[in-house]
Structure 1
Amino acid sequence: MLLAGLFITIGVALAQSQVSGTVTDENGEPIVGAAVRVVDTKTGTVTNNDGRFNLTLPTGKRSITVSYLGMKTVTVKASNGMTVKLYSEDRKLDEVVVTALGIKRQKRDLGYSTEKVDSKLLTEGKAVNVASGLQGKVAGLNISTLNSGVFENVKINMRGIRSLTGNNNPMLLLDGVPVSLNYLSSLNPNDIDNVNILKGTSAAAIYGPDARNGVIVVTTKQGAEGGAPRVTFSSSVQASNISFFPKFQERFGSGGGTGYDFIPYENESWGPEYDGSMRQLGKPDEKGNVMKYPYAPIKNNRKDFFNTGLTFQNDLSLAMKDFYISFQDARVKGIVPDDWNQRTGLRFNGSREYKNFKVSLGANYIQQNYDVYSSKAMYNYYKGQDVGMHDGLMDLVFATQAWVPLTKFKTDDPWGNYNTYYCDFSLNPYQAIETFREKGRKHDFIGNIDLKYSPFSWMDLNLRVAVTHRNISFKQKQKNVSPSEYAAKERSFRFIPQRVSDQNEQYYRLSTEPFITLHKTVGDFNLGGVLGTYMRTNREDYLGVAASPLKILGLYNVSGRTGEVSPTERTIRTRMFSVYGSATVTYKNFATLEVTGRNDKVSVLAPGHNSYFYPGVNASVVLTDAIPAIKSDFLNFLKLRASWNKTGNADVAAYRLNTPFEQKDGFPYDGLPGYKTGERKTDPNLSPEFINSTEVGFETSMLKNRVTLDFTYYNQKNTDQLIYIRTSRGTGYTSRLVNAASFRNYGFETTLKLTPLVNFGDVNVNLNLNYGYNNSEVLSLYEGMDNFFLGGYFMAGAYAVVGKPAFIYSAKDYKRDPQGRVVVDKETGLPQIQEQNKYFGRTMPIHTLGINPSIRWKGLTVSAVFEYKGGNYSFNYQGTTMAWDGQSRVTAANSRQRFVFPNSVYIDGQDANGNPVYVANTNHTVNSNYAYFHGDNYRSVGTNFLFSANTWRWRELSITYSLPAEWLKFQNYVKGVDVAFTGRNLMLWLPKSNEWSDPDFSVYKDQSAGTITSEINPPTRTLGGSITLTF
């Protein structure tokens, strides 16, 4: 019925005569979103992506007005096929941006840095995820990918970190309502009108502590400007393939041990060299049958295990004068076989004004249904069975030898089932994705109502109520797999019991925000103010129950268990109450001063410590207006700005002040429960972390606004940081959470826009450049501590070290002489491992650079995004398992013959002073390639798997053609047609030292931990096409 209503509306509205035309700027560049209205009527429309418009003229009306922000409004006589040229008002930087509370302000008045990304720039690459559409387009915004699965989750960071152990993600503000950043991956990019990035801590004075890491302000589309109905339908398809794969050796095949003997059922590649002969693969089956294949590497045998991922997306929207409705259906087929996700979304935005009263409603519902391979279920199996050393699916694929035709061994193949698969030591990857599954459904709802009453022209009384709710229910299944009697005896295969785990997660947030806004002009002064309160309640509920084994095969229901049920339940409640305010004074529209303040009271801290105040001040001055003499055709606009803020942050988990009791292993026993106290203690007098931030910068426009430059320098001192310190076990605890550390975070950002860079006839070339530099220094930790461990592995992890950046890697390394040469054992030739870890490079990039060129010729637009990140390192844990299996390229070094370790020395006694005598090693060879790469001398040394994370990538390409209006004259329904080809992650340039992974991908959600790759899907390259119809 919804679709029928939409198209009935189209027919009624468009069955009239129309006039069409194009709106351009003074350089002939089409203007998107220009307002076109019929004079003395309420009839109007806006221009499309090609600057074109179609408008119904009422009887007797022939004049139209055309307007656009920063351009001079014109009134002209309408004619079919007309071109309207708008000229700049020399205020190109005088744009409107959405700031605190969703209030629109002129960018010229702001005393802090902000950057706007409009809908066209966000969606031109057809990213399914909003965050992916922002990559490379905003200075200082660092966005990385967690995985290339069907959910495409990302992590986001602005200007480094503000907390050593807490949350460093920016805040998401959706239509003025603070919501969890997790919702960003669920939003439909086509629903978004624009995104404003508030990078500093200034926004926290109004938004609260969640905004300390910056704010992503998302404004969704509202009703159609001018009141004319506008229907848009778009359909796209995208194909994803693996863009980077680890480097494997393809010289040696099946075998294990130092003898390099051929072992047909082995999953390691420490066997003899490939020779092309026919060899047996695996053991005979119970009838004595065997498989034989050429003992030669097969090109891409592991890579071909993965599918071509496909994404089909359809969007339909209707915009009327007072409301906007959209529907989306996105279906994603993953690169992992049998993985899929379907996302369905519905959005409604509406508003209505009556005299001095306005009400606005917003509602967004998103449902995702998915079925994916479950690494968690597989982990539980391996943990319970105590077999193998495999981390998961990727390890099963990577451990496959180069001569094995992996894609043949699907479970419907006689040699692909559990009893006949060639390898005795690991599962068939196809068996794994069939056996361990997670199937679930996710519901997201975001709703808000805004009420505004204006009793006076200078006062608005506002009430905003918002609710967000997320429900995730899923079932993890472990399929029953039984080995035959022969396989159990001859191959030691174990029974995989049928298991099920039902889990349900609920996240709920209710916020109420009454506030007053004031705005009045007194002489040369524009006065403004905000005063309000904010009340928020968060609730989280989790209930999970697992059972194994199950009685009825194929029935995954906990009630069908024969074993014990394992239930888990968790309930969390938190509250925050805040009072905030700001006062703004603008003098003659060129000098602005704003003072802000906020007081938060939170439930997660103890009384006496749970209420804290933080102030701020920012100022700006437009010098070209204050001193008109400096304004010229060369210098059109110049603004200076500065800000200082102190921000509080109570990033403490709920109930952390209490020491919880935990169920002790082995209990319940004989019906009796048993509990023990937790091993971590929290200081009951915890106080908030605080950030003192200073920011200065300027914005300028030159050469008739063809060149714009924005520069910002920031310096943040982060104090009272929460860290765990070690305590004596005699206290009953192993660690204690205290306020102890401090660190500094500083850098600068700049954005340069050349619009147009080249203007020749119908050809326009634009270029946007953005660059960010970020650095940090740990100033202090707890008394007696000089380092603090954040996370990672024993051979390499992320640490905070006094005097060093936050964070750096601490890794195992070889012993070295004063010249840096590796010390080897005189007998075995193997390198010796240093007892103390070595500090080795930053976890986060110092430099980020985005290059966005675009070319427009008539209806054709070509745009691209290139991105650079550098100055940091990445750790690849997957490389350690590849070395164990003999699969990584380095394990074939020196043809697996004895070799002298490069640039090495050995110790030959001591000199007269007792110092070791180092002798250059020329003849003491490593006694076994297998012993070195397979053993701890290589795999436990973290520096062997730390590599430069410097990357250049071609992030995005979009080629769009807008059909000329003349081609559509034969009918009166379709106003515009855009056809596009898009690509994402097209090319990647890496240092030669990186043979394992794309550093943009990581298992860690926290940016500060760096990129640590292990058991993640390979990165992908995406190509696609789309068509958009406007009615």
Structure 2
Amino acid sequence: MKKLLLVSLCLLVLSLTQVFAQNRTITGTVTAKDDGQPIPGATVKIKGTTTGTQTGANGKYTISVPAKAILSFSFIGFETKDVVVAGSDKIDVVLSTSARQLNEVVVTSLGIKRQKGELGYAATSLTSKDVNQAKPVNVINGLQGKVSGLNITTINSGVFEDVKINLRGIRSLLGNNSPLLLLDGVQVPIGYLSSLNPNDIDTYSILKGSSSAAIYGPDAVNGVIVITTKKGSPNGKPEVTLSNSTQFTSISKFPKMQNEFGSGDYGGYVPYENWSWGPAFDGSTKEIGVPFDDGTPTQTLKYSALPNEKKNFFNTGSTVINDISIRTGATYLGIQDANIKGIVPNDKNRRTGIYLNTTQDYGPLKVTAGVNYKQYNYNVFDDNAMSDYNAANNVGLNGGLMNLLFNIPANVPLTRYKNINSDPYASYNGYFTNYGLNPYFALDNWRQFGKREDLIASLDLNLKATDWLNFTYRANMTSNTVTERHTSNGVIPNKMGIDRGFTSIPETVSERAYKYQQLFSQFFASFNKTFAKDFKVTAIVGTDLRQRDSRDTQVGTTSLVIPGLFDISQRTGNLTGSSDFTRDRLFSIYGSAGLSYRGWASVEVTGRQDKTSLLASANNTFFYPGVSASVLLSEAIPALKNSNTLSYLKLRGAANKSGSVNIAAYGLAATFSQANGFPYGPVAGYTANDRTYDPNLKPEFVKSFEVGFESGFFKDRVTLEATYFHQDNTNQIIPIQVSNATGYTSYQINAASFVNKGVELDLGLNPLVKIKDVAINFKANATYNDSRVNSIYPGLDQLAIGGFTNFASNYAVVGAPAFVFKATDYLRDDQGRVIVDANTGYPTADPNVKQFGRTMPLWTVGLNPSFRWKNLNLSMVFEYKGGHYVYNDIGQAMAWTGVGAATATNHRERYVLPNSSIADPANPGKYIANTNVTLSNVSDFYTGVYRDVASNFLTSADSWRLREVSLSYDLPQSILGKQKIIKGLTVGVTARNLFLWVPKTNIYGDPDFTFSTTSGSNFGVNGSNVSGVADSQINPATRTIGGNIVVKF
């Protein structure tokens, strides 16, 4: 028995020795294929077992494995790789980037790159290719329809294409609602977005909520657009790219005109009438205009409609852009020249720019310096000056260029009247009507010449103290300089003009010099270290200082002496003018701390304290915190790993409080301006500002939270992302009327509050179809954005925002969305029918304005299908906006002069007003349907009560449009041949706003082209809060079609 036990023990020891003799120790390094850097925290596991280890900070690992084992290497964001253990004891592995979107790099706080999977808030990343596919003139247009939560509205289709931008709606009733622009980690005013050359930009990150405000500051309360520009060549080899884009611009939607009736009033023909209330066209020959007193024959024309004369007044515009970029190992140089000619005759803008960026490493210190300079030279029609003159002299309809066109009946050959100096029928004195100006004369007489210079200069010093600690200092200067001259050639009427009642137009000149400058200095330390293999800790602590200066000086005269010499020194009388200077400062300290566990669970807290010069010392310091978290369920739950269906699943959430100060510099101080009529000789006179502020004014605050998920299926061929956001906007700074006895008319206080909430959805099908050389991809985004006003002020339930006062304006109304229209309407009965007079058929305007629908979209949708067949690429962007209204002020003008299509209803025969009622004679106070009482005089109706009722011109702003189309072809190497000079050549055609679909009731224009409360040289991104108002100073909406070529060397 003892011998048997001894033999058994020997056999056991022998077998164990055999087992351990078969195990081997394997070492190696795991690196990333993209950059060759080590991957810390990568999992190294013996496949089919639970035995494994993780790589250290240097990417190295050690593991004991049996013979012929299979090692599985994995890390979040990388493809898993299996390696069979063979003869070597050292196995180095290179992991390739996964297609998973969670590995997508997003530029976030202070320009620091992070993987999207770590973020607890919504962010969208775009590449230069995504934005530039249709060759937009500026980057703003290239973003339209491609980002959920982003709403971009065009407010000018001229040579500047001004826009208004909102992310997730608004956070302030009367203050700033534009997002912050972050350029290479430095805060830059949002207006500079229009100055950036799209070809100089590498990536875009859109941070939609206010979660980043705790790091970026008060300007980030409305979201952040993070832009990273191109740097030196990634492979160190020189790269040269030449490109040309030539585009042609034409009108995409023009107001619908009537072509049945011509010059005259009340059905009778009047040859010099600007009204179109004359008789129906009959093809007869009629005189037009008035007799000349110098023997010039009176013009005679066929009395027929010329349907396209008003539309043909506008030119086909053009934009020619030439670019060259040079990239070396450390330097990027981009030069652009853009020559833009507008649809308004003689309007032009020349934009020239240069961008230079260079990076040098000095051991652990990396130095990056950049300069971006743009110069605009423009010559445009001064619409505001003409409108001011017309209003002062009661000349026709005084609201702008479009109103001049509405003063022209359809039988008048407008486009013949271009030669104002040589054609007597086009001259100031000989123009056909007594009640309006020749549009060509107006374009020539009132001009605005200017030069704008934008400069962004930056310096970035980054010291890598250790592998886990960095120190960064940034200095940045942005400046915007505008020099302008506004001129009026002036004219003195001759005897014929005087007999017609024409007055002299003075020869005037005014000059403007404007300069805005921002200085920004920032220092922060960033910490990033992995502990115990499983925990990664990140932290930021920093401070920044911002100073903003602006000076606006204007001087002019209305009494020049020498015709054609626009020199303010040759004048009679006093100069007019003003000079304003402002300065404000913001000092901030901030920090963040984040913890990540095994790459699948992350949490981050942030905090920032600001001290602003805009508020009184007792309230000028305020703190706001934030927290965000995310968890990758597809990594945290073993059962979800390596699923053939679910690629990834992430849950995220964020909550924060942020503050902003929406008052101007010196808003709390008493300010004075020169009074009218002064100086009077040696006597100066000043008037006080009519608005005062509560000295205890505090910042506006936004408390927001968001929750969402991100998911991918079938190896990310299908991706779906959804976010719910809620923003509670309090402490709104609003004006309250006060007694004039106080010396002021309004008093600014913290009072109103409103809620803004919504849902964002993003869908990707990449590829939707893949068959050999054919690939079809599809992306879609949708946003639902609602709001509700909770309170205004005790005793007040509404606040006027802007528009046409007491006619059609934006309002904030308690219980309603921010904002809604309040507009004039007809008196109506209980069933909503228009009450008309039982004898005349005329309705009556309600003396009280009524509330109508919202002014901003409730829904926005973007669809982006793309197709690829070999080297041929086709991409499209469709965009929908809906659930809101637009007020078309041009409708009122078109009704007055009788050119609008609505004025030809029933061929101007008497008719029963639709949906109308009359008083019931048998039941006083009751109304019955009107079936037979017709309008007694159609022209009186349209020139009277119809145009006084704004609801007639309120239409649905719903629209579908083909926003963008791009077709390009990459020449294959077989065509380029064996030559080594040209490395790539792409040719393409593009179009923007190619097709538009709107409801039939919208006979006026594109609802996406709406009102701006600023004008002149304040182009770029407009900060007006007024929405959905289209007036006659807006040019018609446009489309562009063109071609391009890109050559790489």
TM-score, scaled to structure 1: 0.91
Structure 1 residue 36: Cα displacement = 10
Query: Aligned pair in 2 of structure 1 residues 406, 36: CA closer, same or farther (>3 Å)?
Result: farther
Q: How does 1:882-901 map to 2 (within 5 A)?
A: 882-901=894-913
SS in 1 for 2:724: strand
Task: Please show how residues 427-438 of structure 1 align to structure 2 within 5 Å.
Answer: 427-438=437-448
In structure 1, what is the equivalent of residue 723 of structure 2? 712
Shift of 1:756: 0.2
Instruction: Return the alpha-carbon distance in structure 2 between the equivalents of residues 987 and 92 of structure 1.
Output: 33
Q: How far apart are 1:892 and its partner, in Å?
A: 1.0
SS at match of 1:430: helix
Aligned counterpart, 1:562: 572
Deviation at 1:321, TM superposition (A): 0.8
The residue number in structure 2 matching 1:252 is 261
Pick one of 446, 459, 469 that aligns with 2:479: 469
Aligned with 2:569: secondary structure?
helix
Change (3 A) 1:690 1:36: closer
Amino acid of the structure 2 residue aligned with 1:224: S
Aligned equivalent of 1:397: 405
TM superposition shift of 1:452:
1.2
Listed as ranges, the matches of 1:661-672 within 5 Å are 661-672=672-683
**Cα distance change, pair 910–201 in 1 and its aligned pair in 2 (3 A):** farther
In the alignment, residue 1025 of structure 1 is paired with which amino acid? G
Q: Please say if 1:501 is aligned against 2:519.
A: no
The corresponding residue for 2:119 is: 110
Is 1:315 matched up with 2:323?
Answer: yes
Is this contact kept in 2: 1:910–1:916, CA < 8 A?
Answer: no
Pair 452,87 (structure 1): closer, same or farther in 2 beyond 3 Å: closer
Residue 70 of structure 1 and its aligned partner are, at CA, apart by 5.4
Match of 1:29 in 2: none
The corresponding residue for 1:549 is 559
Match of 1:839 in 2: 851
Deviations 1:46-65, CA, capped at 9 Å, x for gaps: xxxxxxxxxxxxxxxxxxxx
Q: Give 1:759-770 correspondences, 5 Å limit.
A: 759-770=770-781
The one-letter amino acid of 2:1028's match is T
CA distance in 1 between counterparts of 2:101 and 2:582 reads: 49
8 Å contact kept, 1:204–1:647: yes
For residues 829-882 of structure 1, give each alpha carbon's deviation from its aligned partner in whole angstroms, at most 9, with x where no partner exists. Answer: 210122222111000000000000000011000000000000000001111111
Give SS of 2:222's match: coil
Quote how far apart the aligned CAs of 1:487 are. Answer: 1.9
Q: 1:873 to 1:665 in 2, by over 3 A?
A: same
Q: Structure 2 CA distance, aligned partners of 1:944 and 1:677?
A: 40
Cα distance, 1:595 vs. partner?
A: 0.4
| CA 759–223 in structure 1, closer or farther in 2 if over 3 Å, else same | same
- 2-side partners of 1:446 and 1:926: how far apart? 63
Report Cα offsets for 1:666-696 as digits up to 9, x if no partner: 3333432222323222111100010000100
* 2:1027 partner letter: G
Q: Specify the alignment match of 1:750 in structure 2.
A: 761
Note the C-alpha offset of 1:1008. 4.3
Map 1:587-986 onto structure 2 (within 5 A).
Answer: 587-631=597-641, 632-793=643-804, 794-908=806-920, 911=923, 916-935=925-944, 937-986=945-994
- Letter in structure 2 aligned against 1:619: A
SS at match of 1:559: coil
Counterpart residue identity of residue 1042, structure 2? G
1: CA distance, partners of 2:316 / 2:395: 32
Q: Which amino acid aligns with 1:526?
A: K
Q: CA deviation at 1:186?
A: 1.1
Task: Report the alpha carbon displacement of residue 550 of structure 1 after superposing the two structures with TM.
Answer: 0.8
- Residue identity in the other structure for 1:918: Y
5+ residue gaps, structure 2: 1-32, 37-75, 84-93, 1013-1021
The 8 Å contact of residues 397 and 404 in structure 2, kept in 1 or not, is answered as no
Read off the aligned partner of 2:664 and give its amino acid letter: A
Contact 2:822-2:852 at 8 Å conserved across structures: yes
- Equivalent in the alignment of 1:224: 233
Distance in 1 separating the partners of 2:978 and 2:538: 53
Could you say what the CA RMSD is over the residues aligned between the two structures, in angstroms? 2.0
Tell me by how many angstroms 1:562 deviates.
1.7
From 571, 586, 595, the equivalent of 2:581 is: 571
Distance 2:105 2:82 in 1: 20
| Distance in structure 2 (CA, Å) of the matches to 1:139 and 1:315 | 30
**Which of 523, 526, 549 in structure 2 is aligned with 1:517?**
526
- Unmatched 5+ residue regions in structure 1? 1-33, 38-67, 76-84
TM score, norm. by length of structure 2: 0.89
- CA pair 436-351 structure 1, distance change in 2 beyond 3 A: same
1:35–1:226 Cα contact (<8 Å) kept:
no
**Residue in 1 that maps onto 2:173:** 164
CA contact (8 A) 1:240 1:1023 kept: yes
Q: 1:1006 and 1:461 mapped to 2: Cα distance? A: 35
CA 1:397/1:938 → structure 2, altered by over 3 Å: closer, same or farther?
same
In structure 1, C-alpha distance between the alignment counterparts of 2:381 and 2:610, rounded to whole Å: 43
The residue number in structure 2 matching 1:263 is 270
The letter for the 1-side match of 2:684 is P
- The size of the alignment, in residue pairs, is 954
Report the CA distance between 1:35 and its aligned residue.
Answer: 6.5
What residue number does 2:1047 align with?
1029
**Aligned pairs (5 A) from 1:11-50:** none
Please tell me whether the aligned partners of residues 975 and 1030 of structure 1 are also in contact (alpha carbons under 8 angstroms): yes
Residues 145 and 384 of structure 1: is their aligned pair in 2 closer, same or farther, counting only changes over 3 Å?
same
Q: Provide the residue aligned with 1:3 in structure 2.
A: none
Equivalent pair of 1:70/1:95 in contact (CA under 8 Å)? no
1:19 aligns with none
Q: Aligned residue for 1:333?
A: 341
Q: Is the 1:787–1:799 Cα contact (8 Å) retained in structure 2?
A: yes
Cα distance in 1 for residues equivalent to 2:933 and 2:671: 57
The 2-side partners of 1:409 and 1:105 are apart by: 62
Choose which of 274, 278, 282 in structure 2 pairs with 1:275.
282
Contact preservation (8 Å) 2:712, 2:718: yes
| Aligned 8 A contact 2:330 2:360 in 1 | yes
- CA gap 1:90/1:828 in 2 versus in 1, 3 angstroms: closer
* Range with greater deviation from structure 2 (832-841 or 506-515): 832-841
Residue in 2 that maps onto 1:478: 488
Residue 386 of structure 1: how far off its partner (Å): 4.2
Over 3 Å counting, the alpha-carbon distance change for 1:650 and 1:472 in structure 2 is: same
1:439 aligned to which of 449, 464, 476: 449
Q: What is the CA deviation profile of residues 910-937 of structure 1, one whole-angstrom value per residue up to 9, with x for unaligned ones?
A: 85xxx613233233322211111111x1
The Cα of 1:194 is off from its aligned counterpart by 1.0
Give me the whole-angstrom Cα distance separating, in 2, the residues matched to 1:671 and 1:395: 43
User: Cα distance 1:409–1:72, how it changes in 2: closer, same or farther (>3 A)?
Assistant: farther
Q: Give secondary structure in 2 for the equivalent of 1:783.
A: coil
Aligned with 2:220 (options 204, 211, 236): 211
Write out per-residue CA displacement over residues 546-592 of structure 1, whole angstroms, 9 at most, x where no aligned residue: 11221111111111112321021000000000000000111111111
Whole-Å separation in 1 of the counterparts to 2:597 and 2:968: 45
8 Å Cα contact 2:1011-2:1026 kept in structure 1: no
Larger radius of gyration: 2
Q: How does 1:105-254 map to 2 (within 5 A)?
A: 105-254=114-263
Q: 2:1005 aligns with which of 979, 997, 1008?
A: 997
Going from structure 1 to structure 2, the CA distance change for 1:72 and 1:333 (only over 3 Å counts) comes to farther
The 1:718–1:36 alpha-carbon spacing in structure 2 relative to 1, beyond 3 Å, is closer
Q: CA deviation at 1:74?
A: 14
CA distance in 1, matches of 2:211, 2:444: 51
Q: Distance in 1 between matches of 2:745 and 2:1024?
A: 27
Partner of residue 1018, structure 1: 1036
- Structure 1 residue identity aligned to 2:584: T
